[in-house]
Every structure is written in C-alpha cells, then in structure tokens.
Chains A and B, each alone.
Chain A
Amino acid sequence: MSVHIPARPPADAGAGYRAGKTLTVRVELARQIRRKRTLVAFLLVIALPLIVVAAVKFGPSSGGGGGFGDGDLDLVGLATAGAWNFTLTMLFFGSGFLLTVLAALFLGDTVASEANWSSLRYLLAAPVPRRRLLRTKVIVGLIFTVAVLLTLVVASFLIGLVAFGSETLTSPLSGTFGTGESLQRIAVITAYIGLTMLFPAGIAFLISVLTDVPLAAVGSAVIITIVFGILDRIEALGDLRRLLPTDYGAAWLDALGSQIAWGEMAIGATYNVVIFTVLIAIAFVRFDRKDILS
C-alpha cells in the first residue's frame, strides 16, 4: 500500500479554523440523536400514556367507569374524561419522576459520557473551546428535554383522543374549560413543568462536568431531587421548605383554578431559572480550570 500524503499547503497559521464553527448545535444533535438512550427516552414517554390507557381499559377496577384515584384532588379520576384531562394526568404522572430522570439524563450524561468514551479530549484538542463545548451540550440537552416533554403531551393527547374522546378540560379544582381555554391551561402547565425540570437538569450538568462517570451525574441529580422532595414533606421544617426548589414542583395546579394564579408559578419558575443559571455558571468556571485527564 502506498499512501499519498498531500503536499503541505502554504503556511497560514490555523487558517480555516473558526472557533465559532466548532461543535455547532446541529452537529451535536447529529452526534446525540442516534443514541439508544435518546430513543428509549422518547419511547418511554410514548409508552406511559399507552400503559395508563391499558390499565384503565383492562384493569381490574375498570367496572365503575371512574376513578382509580381518590382524595382531595382527583387528578387521576378525571383522566378518562377526555383527551385534555388525560394529557393533564399524564403530565402529572410524568412530572413526578419520569421527566425528572430524563432531564437529568439528557444533561447529566452529556459531558461525562464523552469523558467516559475518551472522545472529550479529542473534541477539546480539535480545539472546541471549553465554554463553547458546554454551551452546545447544555442547549442540546435542553432541546432533548423539551422534545420529550412535548412528545409526552402530544402523544398523550392523541392517545387520549382515541381512547376517551375530545371532551375539553375539566379542572380537578372546579369548573370546565372551553377548547381555547383548555389549550391555554395545558400550555401553561407544560411550560411550567418544563421550567421545573431545570433544577435536576442543572444539578446533573454540574456533576457531569465534575465527573467521568455518566451514571453518577444522572443518579446524583435524581437522588438530590428525591431527597429534596422528602424534605419538602417534613412539616417540622416549616417555611424553610420554601427554599427548596422542589417546593414549587406542583405549583402548576394553580393553572387549574377559575383564574390562573400566577404567584406560586412565578416564584417557582424564577427560582428554577436562577438556580439553573448558578449551577451552569459553576460548571462553566469549573470546566475552564479543569485538567482533562480522561
């Protein structure tokens, strides 16, 4: 085999290299989209409504026609009222754990797994500037998080439409809404739930930058979120619990009143955005100074 090595072009010190063109969002999307992890995440959020429909239709307690849930706030019991309510219930189910895990996965796995595969050092040596690498990783992680959230909503709505009809939203608090109003409420709730994913996402991303073990990043974010959730239920902590970002996780229920009560959601959204920014800022500064040994 004779290899032809082309002649060296005239010396022009790094000509052609543009830092602003390295690891674009489009390229990072192409790098991530074929991962099995990504596929599984989307399948999960499509499977969730299907499983619930199956449980409602074929479950042992389907005789009564209503409610396998009871309690003050009958979100679950209303699930079968129509596509809108079904979507609402799926958002309720999803926001508890599944979406948190997925957000943590998309942002927690992203840098740590590159380190784990050793591809991180070649990207940085390319060179992709460190902050640009993190920036792209955060954007792509958030794009995927929003995409699964929207997939959950759209899939739930379509599946609910087939299974339970197009009846508009009935609030578990009181009242029913028209189509436009239903759309508005579901949109507000979806947006808010999306924003509450920022806290686990931020934690996961920070740990992802600090460690080479992808599972550690995702796991710690989920565990921290769960621990905060438990702390949030300890009455003895009183108003201290208002400091926990997870305290605002259910504030979207305020979008179900006769009027949308924005107060709690505004605080929750702001708190999540601010904490996310702080965590990402720490990640950026830490990564700047980090020696890449992986």
Chain B
Amino acid sequence: MRRWLGSAAVVVIVALTVAPARAEVSPEALQLPGAATSATDPSPVTLSADLYLPTQVPAPAVVLAHGFGGSKAAVAEEAAYLQERGFAVLAYSARGFGESTGLISMNSPQFEVADARRIVDYLSERPEIVQDGAGDPRVGVSGGSYGGALALLLAGYDDRIDAVVADITWNDLESSLFGQSARGAGLGVLKQLWTGFFFSAGLLPSGGNPLAPGPVTECGRFSPEWCAAYTEAATTGTVSPAAAELMAASSPASVSNSITAPTLIGGGQSDSLFPLAQANANAEQISAANPDVPVKVVWHAEGHDGGVDETERLRALGADWLSAYLADGPAVSTAFEVSEVSGSAVSDRAAGTVDVLSTPDYPGLYGQGQRPIPVRGPTQQVLAPAGGVPAAVTALPGAGGLAGLASSVLALPLPGQSAGFLSEPLAEPLQVIGSPRVRLQVSSDRPVRDAVLFASLRIADASQRQILPNGLVAPIRLAEIGPEPVTVEVDLPAIVTEAAAGDRLAVVVATTDQAYRLPEGPAVYTVSLPDGEVFVPQVDVVSTATEAPAWLWPLGGLVLVLVIAVVTWLLRPRHGDDEPRPDASAGPSAAAADVPISVRGLVKRFKGGLTAVDGATFTVPPGVVLGLLGPNGAGKTTTMRMIMGLIRPTDGEVRVFGQRILPGSAALARIGSFVEGPGFLPYLSGRRNLELYWKASGRVGQEPYFDGVLEIAGLGSAVDRKVKTYSQGMRQRLGLAQAMLGMPDVLLLDEPTNGLDPPQIREMRDVLHAYAATGRTVIISSHLLSEVEQTCSHVVVMNRGQVIAEGTVAEFMRGRTGQRLEDVFLEMVGEGHTVVSS
C-alpha cells in the first residue's frame, strides 16, 4: 500500500476511493453460557461475545479468538473484515478476559476449549448460520497466539470445526516457555521475561484498568493450578509433574493427531516466544497423523517481537483459506510461503519490505537439503557470571515494533561471555530458510549442574559488524557437565535471511541472555565445534512477486511524460515556431510584401491597466531612414518591441514585408535590432559574441559581413577583449554592429547615438544614410531631434500611445522657414511635455 503513495497521480485516485466510509452492520452483543467455572463449581461462566452478521445470510461462521491479555474488542477490526468477506463472525472474550467471567486456565480442554464448544453449540442454533447437520454449524475457527492455540485445540477436540487458522502460537507450551535447542536434553531455560509479562497481563483486574483501585492478589485472574505452576517456575526454574501435565493438556501437540479440518498455520520470524519451530511442529504433526488434511504453512515477518507489518496480507490469506473451505470459495494453494525481509534499507517508516517466496511442498525446519559451511575457531572458554549479570540483550520481549530490526543489528555478545566460530567470506550469496544445525562440545573443569548456554548464527560483514537475524538465540540447558566434553546437537533458531557474498557466518556461543532465567552460580565452560561446520538449510523458492514489478513505475512515468509532452505541444502557439508555415492570415499579399514595416491599429495594454500603445498605425516605406519620435512614455519602445516579436500585441498587428509578426516569426530574420541598450555575454570577447550570435541566428549560407560591421563598430583591437571590460560607448557600438550582422533589410535602432561622441555620431549618420541608399530601411528612435532632423528622411510622431503625425521631414518643415524640428515637435505634443535633449 505504501508504494502506491509514491506517485502524486495515484494519490489523487487513492484519496477519491478511500473517502466514502464503508457501511458496517454493528455487531450483536451477546452473553453466552460457557463451561463449568471450575473443577469444584459446575455453574457456567458467562462469556461476553459479539456476533457480526454479514449482509447475506445464512452464512458460514467463524469463531474468532483473541490473544493473551486482549478481549473481543481486540479482534473487532478483523471481525469486521471477515464480516465484509461474507462470514458470520463470533468474537468472544475468553474466560478471565474482558467482561467474561471465570479464571484463566491457559486453554485447558476442561475449561477454555469447553467454552469454545459451547459457542459452537450456540452457533448451531442460529438460523443465520449455514448448518451441515443437526447441531453442526458450518464453522471455522481463527486466532493468533493464545487464540491460535485455542483454535488448534478446539479443532482437535471438536470435529464440527471445518477450517482452522492458527497464527504465532505454541505446539507445546512447556518447550515454548522453557526454551531447549539441544536435542534430547531435558527441560529448557525459562523465558523469564516473557512468562513474567504473561503472568502480569493476567493479574490485572477484569476490565483492565491498571490504575483502578482494587484488591491486589498473587494470582490475579489465574486459576490456582496455573498460579502455582508459574510461581514454581519463576522461583526455581523447574516444573513439577503436575505443572507439566497442565501444560501438556493445554498444548495442541496433545490433539494434533485428531485435527482433520484444513489448517492454515502461521509462524512469526520475529518471535522469540513461539518461534517457527512451534509452528513447524503443529504443521508436521497434523500432516503426519492425517496426510490428506490440507495444511498450509506461512512463515511471515511478524511475531511477538514485532517484525515487519504484514497484517493486510495475512488477514486476506486467512479469509481466503476460510472462504475456500467454508464457503466453496476459490481454492487456496497449500504451497509453503515464506517472507524474506529485504529491500529498502532507507525507509525509516517501514522496517523493511517483504518479498514473499514460495515452494510447493513444506520443507520443514531443516530445508530440502543442508549445506555444510566450515566455521573455524579454537576451543574457547566462556564465563557464566555469578548471578547471571551482566546479561546480553537480544530479543526484547514486549517491545513490539522496536525490537524487530534494531536487535538484528545491535546485538553484540558481551566480552568474555562468548565464543565465536567464523567462516571464510562467502563466495556467493547464501540464503538461509529454516533452522541451521551445529554440534557443540562443552566441558567444564569442575562439575556444573544446570549449565545454560545460548547459541546463535550471526552474519558478520566486512566491517566486522555482526547481525543477529531477528535477535533470536537458541537456549541450551544441560543437566550436568564436567571435565569430560559433552557433545550436543543444537538446532539454531529458524531464520529467513540472505547473507551477501563476502559476508561471514559466525556461530556464537554465549552464557547470558537477559530474556532468560540464568543460573546463579558462576561457571567457566570450554566450548568447541567438533565438526568445524554449521549445516545451513537450503530451500528452492521462487518469489511470488505479489507486488507490481519495479519496471511498471518507469513505464507508467514514461506514459505520463509523453502525455504532458503532447499536451504542451498542443498548447503551443499557432504561429512562429520552427519552420515558417503557410498561413492565410500570416502570408504576404503581393503588394504588402514590398512594405518593410506596416503597423495597423496596434494596442498594448499591460497587466495592471497601463496602456502603452493605443491604436498606433503607420507604414515604413523601403529605402528610407525613419525617425520614431515622441516624448517619454509615448510608446516608442513598446512599439519597437512588438515589431521585434518580444511583446504580444493586445490588439492590431505588425507586418514585416507583409508577414504578420508573432514571437519567432521567420520574417524577424530580416530585421536587425538594437533596443534599450546592448546585450552581450560579458565573459566573451566582442568578436566571439558576434560570431556566436550569428551562429545562433540560424541564417544558413548568408554572408555575415563580420569585417564590415566590426569596422562600423570601430573597436580596433578591443574587439578581442572581454565585453565586460568595455566602456558604455564601446558596448553601444558593438550592439549596433550586431544589429547590422548580415546586413538585414530593416534596421531597428533605439537611441543609437547614446554614448557616442560627436565624430562617431557623424560616422553613424553616414552609415545609416549609406544603408538606406541600398534600398534597405532604417528606423531609429531618438530624443535628439536635431540629430533626427539631420539623419532621417521620414518621421513618425507618437504621443500617449498614438501616432499623431507621419510623413517626410520635408513635409514637416514646409512653410516653417527658420524653425527647427524641435519647435514643430513641441507644438505637436503640446505643453506639459519636456523633451529630453541630452
């Protein structure tokens, strides 16, 4: 889902589709009678339940069981999801939790499982539930952790159950709570932190407000038997036969051979409480007893330690499974699915991305084959410190999401407390799916009872950092060791990871781990690896590639880019760009083609309301020098810029040799212009500027007349200096030279004599006369009326954006003997205007 948010375009769609709230049918709250309250009290407990009915009934039912410490409220979201998928969902609070009465017996067959059977009885009475027979509703059971064990136990005890979904739960409670990875050894090491968390979660008064005043008891809502078993384990680390019997009865292992309903078993990779080995045992036992029962195993990336969120996928998978076996939905493959956490190392929001790998047959903990990897190291001594502290920190029970990736990176064994055995750098990447195995040899100089060790497989990278996948260690508890070395076969924690080429594998044997109950007494152990090898499980898997492949993004982006490009192309101006196109309105008429410049009704109104040009109309005949006169603000420069195609007219038009001028019109190539000062690249020489300007102007095969224009500029050797060293006058002359490059048919010059000294002005005047004499046209605007009088043969006078007079200088001066142009001009524009004459 996150990936979808990547593209802005997609987000809009997401926002539109997410917006409408889905209509939900609110559940029906029920108080159902359960089994007997206790061995001595036959009155039934009251179970608080919610029945979610789908829109279409009758429907198959799903009994939804919650995790330890939760209640029916904790599974409300999942219940609503299953309801939407068309199931009638009965979510209930187990005895001792939520508003249900009774005491916690850890899924005892006599109590919790019996409660669940009453629930099934109840479902058989509801008309909204599909019935397979009298008293036999079509029903599946689903749950995680505490609820997962209930699901398996219920399926074992009640053959009315038609499908099971059991996630991150135990197979054998004793081996879950007392971790033992040494084969054939006895009771394991108590997971002190986990059991402590569990027990305290059951101590809170019903209703769950820890701050509410109430009586404090040693056993809380636990039944006396379980309270006694916990107290014994927590204080001595041992298990009495009575407690062992209790735990065995509450373990799916006790009934797995009678589970005949199709079962989906989830195991969490990030789970130090109920590790993958427990899920594996459930699956293997069910399949061994009834090979025809469909069993699907999923090793996902979540777990009691946090891990990577896969809720959506798992929820959908569970619903598919139930749908397949309860509602004749599409078949779900029983292929083994395993999530490999990899991908983005940088996203700080997700701990990682998940690639779901798959293989048709469940390979079990030890893979389809095992690859021995040599790991070397001398025989080493390790210290178990007195009192068990300081202890290494690996998994962080109860820390939830924090623990997952963090512990993978951080976990470092404490000095003196660990022995390490290292492989050579791997020649190629090594994928590990399952439980690697190793043989350890342990001895001690003096006899030690209850020796505790923790073995782990770590991945050491080139910078000698050790990564402990999922923070998992294998606890080993040996009843007794002495000077004679004992060889133990150890199942290292089942993991899913890939070591890169160049990484090393490290087998680390440590004496402490703060999550476990450690022996009090100090001891020194001698540890070695007799085989010098670790056996790594290998599984051939293929990626299920549930996500869009990466190339879809560039492809989608490419399409979008093309769309944008096309739209931009369509929006482009109709005229002017690229090659000149035949256009009726822009094409020259035969007569107009001889008129260098014709301005018709030209208007320019700027944003903000200033009207710079207001209906100017005039014509410039060929072979003349025409002066464009007017006071400041008359609109001369704006008119010139419109002639150059720099400003779009609001109304009216400019035609150059009959062709209408718009930005980029080809006819502009016939105009050489100089408006409001020169424009050059200051870091290039004058000559280089002209050369590059000429090349940029796209006039193929025409003669630029570099020598001629440079002579006019009169810069001498300065032409090869950088323009930024030029004086104002030199730039001005270079600008005029640039305008004359290629000797265009029209010269458009704005204040050309600024910065020129009198001799230069005179030269300029001669040049312009000579220019017009060849039949070309020159338009100049100037404030220097005397200069205009001497240079120009024609004048156009503008005032307030309009042309107020047009004609030859001779016509203007006719009958005004003794007067100068300046006087005539002042007369025309009236008082109130000062003509700048500098």
Contact = CB atoms under 8 A, between A and B. Distances in A.
Interface of A: 1-8, 11, 13-14, 16-24, 27-28, 30-31, 34-36, 72-74, 77-78, 81, 114, 117-132, 170-177, 238-239, 242-243, 248, 250-251, 253-254, 256-259, 261-271, 273-275, 277-278, 281, 284-285, 288-289, 291-293
B677 A118 contact: yes
Contact of A124 (B8, B572, B663): B663
B786 interface: no
B763 interface: yes
18 contacts: A4-B770, A5-B776, A8-B776, A13-B588, A13-B670, A16-B699, A18-B699, A19-B577, A22-B698, A34-B684, A35-B683, A121-B644, A175-B429, A242-B5, A242-B6, A258-B429, A284-B568, A285-B571
Given A16-B701, A176-B502, A277-B561, A170 B462 contact: yes
A251 B346 contact: yes
Contacts of B684: 31, 34
Contact of B500 (A175, A254, A263): A175
A263 B698 contact: no
A27 to B, nearest CB: 5
B2 interface: yes
Given A122-B693, A127-B665, A269 B554 contact: yes
B467 interface: yes
Contact of A277 (B565, B663, B700): B565
Contact of A131 (B577, B579, B670, B763): B577
Given A17-B698, A35-B683, A126-B697, A239 B349 contact: yes
Contacts of A263: 3, 343-344, 353, 547, 550
Given A3-B711, A17-B666, A264-B344, A270 B554 contact: yes
Interface in B149-169: none
Given A13-B588, A274-B9, 6 more contacts: A78-B463, A123-B696, A129-B663, A171-B462, A173-B461, A291-B606
Given A257-B342, A267-B3, A77 B463 contact: yes
Given A19-B579, A176-B502, A242-B6, A14 B667 contact: yes
Contact of A174 (B499, B664, B766): B499
Given A175-B502, A278-B564, A292 B673 contact: no
A4 B465 CA distance: 82
Contact of B766 (A3, A119, A254): A3
A13 B577 contact: no
B646 A267 contact: no
B700 to A, nearest CB: 5
Contacts of A131: 572, 577
Nearest to A170: B462
CB-based closest 4 A-B pairs: A175-B500, A118-B679, A176-B502, A270-B557
A72 B409 contact: yes
Contacts of B295: none
A5 B344 contact: no
Nearest to B648: A291
B345 A73 contact: yes
A271 B679 contact: no
A274 B711 contact: no
B768 to A, nearest CB: 10
A74 B345 CA distance: 13
Given A1-B714, A21-B700, A273 B708 contact: no
Contact of B708 (A6, A23, A242): A6
B502 A119 contact: no
B712 interface: yes
A203 to B, nearest CB: 15
Contacts of A243: 5, 8, 11
Interface in B298-352: 342-347, 349
Interface in B498-524: 498-503
A129 B463 CA distance: 57
Interface in B667-696: 667-671, 673, 675-684, 692-693, 695-696
Given A175-B462, A266-B553, A288 B593 contact: no
Contact of A267 (B346, B553, B671, B675): B553
B377 interface: no
B554 A6 contact: no
A13 B667 contact: yes
B282 interface: no
A13 B659 contact: yes
Contacts of B8: 243, 271, 274-275
Given A27-B692, A174-B499, A274 B560 contact: yes
B470 interface: no
Contact of A170 (B502, B693, B699, B738): B502
Contacts of A123: 693, 696
Interface in B402-453: 409, 425, 429
Contact of B344 (A3, A21, A261, A289): A261
Given A16-B701, A266-B550, A281-B568, A258 B648 contact: no
A30 B695 CA distance: 10
B668 A125 contact: yes
A20 B579 contact: yes
Contacts of A173: 345, 461, 500
B743 A129 contact: no
A278 B9 CA distance: 12
A281 B346 contact: no
Contacts of B2: 239, 242
A121 B675 contact: yes
A22 B692 CA distance: 11
Contacts of B693: 122-123, 126
B618 to A, nearest CB: 20
A192 B693 CA distance: 36
B425 to A, nearest CB: 7
Given A176-B462, A281-B564, A130 B712 contact: no
B573 A288 contact: yes
The residue among A14, A243, A261, A285 with the most chain B CB atoms within 10 A of its own CB is A14
A121 to B, nearest CB: 6
B386 to A, nearest CB: 33
B65 interface: no
Contact of A31 (B344, B579, B679, B681): B681
Given A13-B659, A18-B698, A175 B568 contact: no
Nearest to A28: B696
A22 B577 CA distance: 11
> Among A17, A21, A131, A256, which residue has the most Cβ atoms of chain B within 10 A?
A17
A126 B646 CA distance: 11
Contact of B696 (A8, A27, A172): A27
B696 A23 contact: yes
**Of listed A114, A119, A170, residue having the most chain B CB within 10 A:** A119
Given A8-B775, A72-B409, A292-B646, A17 B349 contact: no
Given A176-B462, A284-B568, A3 B708 contact: yes
Contacts of B644: 121, 124-125
Contact of A292 (B580, B647, B665, B692): B647
B576 interface: yes
A221 to B, nearest CB: 19
Contact of A7 (B547, B766, B774): B774
B680 A124 contact: no
B5 A264 contact: no
Contact of A270 (B7, B572, B659, B678): B7
Contacts of A119: 679-681
A173 B463 CA distance: 10
Contacts of A254: 343-346
B13 interface: no
A176 B425 contact: yes
A30 B689 CA distance: 10
A172 B682 CA distance: 47
Contacts of B498: 258-259
Contacts of B565: 277, 281
A19 B711 contact: no
